[in-house]
Amino acid sequence: MFKKNTITIIFLLCSVVLRANGADSLEQDLMRAQIEYYKSQVRPKKFFESVSPALPGIIGTMIGASLALFGVRWSNKRQWDLEKEKWEMTKKDEATKEVRSAVANMSKIIAAELQAIIWLTWIGKYEPHILSDKDIDDYNIEMKQLFRDALVAQAYLAALDLGLHTKMKSIAKEVSRIDHKMSFTIQKIKQAANPDERIVAAKELEIFYDESYFYHDNLAEKIGNALPPLK
């Protein structure tokens, strides 16, 4: 009986020892596995291994930055194009206004010349007996100043728009033609030998009155046809 108990105790002790050794072995295996895992984490990785997990994010960031840069450049270019277009339109409008102002100034001078002719020739047509040398002298002084102003206005318009200057010059030239033909009649008036001869010569101004009045009446239309249409 004693032997049997002794054997049982020995068997139990061996089982305990074996279990303890097995537990120690399992624990050691677990520790080894953990050590190997941590070693694999801390060992230096190749460049591709390090970058590959973050590569999609890097590519996405680069694409986003490129799109943002393109958007900024496109926006800046569009803004520049708009500003340039606005500046060109403003410059064009200012040039158009300047040309029309020059035409308006020249038109005023032509109208003043025609009015001076009409005033003198009206006297010759309706009251030739009161036409005096002073009336003729005043007319000559006024026309001399107006012709000087007309030359300046024509030169200024030519500098702005040569084509329009050519059209306006033809209108002004018609007034000069009337004045030139009048000069021969005025010379006859001043050289008349007696009052009756003077009255007869003064009446010859009638034809220039009708011509200048008609031209004056159609002046606005002539100038309007010379101007380019507004856009």
Q: What pLDDT is stored for residue 218 in this prediction?
A: 92
Domain map of the chain by residue range?
Answer: 1-38, 90-226
Phi, psi torsion values for 193, nearest 5 degrees: -80, -25
Q: With residue 61 as reference, give the H or E element that holds it.
A: helix 55-126
Structure tokens at 31: 């520790």
User: pLDDT by residue (tens digit) across 1-60?
Assistant: 544 455 555 555 555 444 545 545 656 666 676 666 555 555 555 555 555 666 666 677
Cα 76 to Cα 217: distance, rounded to the nearest angstrom: 55
pTM beyond 0.75: the answer is: no
Cα 174 to Cα 39: distance, rounded to the nearest angstrom: 109
Query: Is the model's pLDDT at 111 over the cut of 90?
Result: yes
CATH architecture under which domain 90-226 falls: Up-down Bundle (1.20)
Q: What pLDDT is stored for residue 8 in this prediction?
A: 57
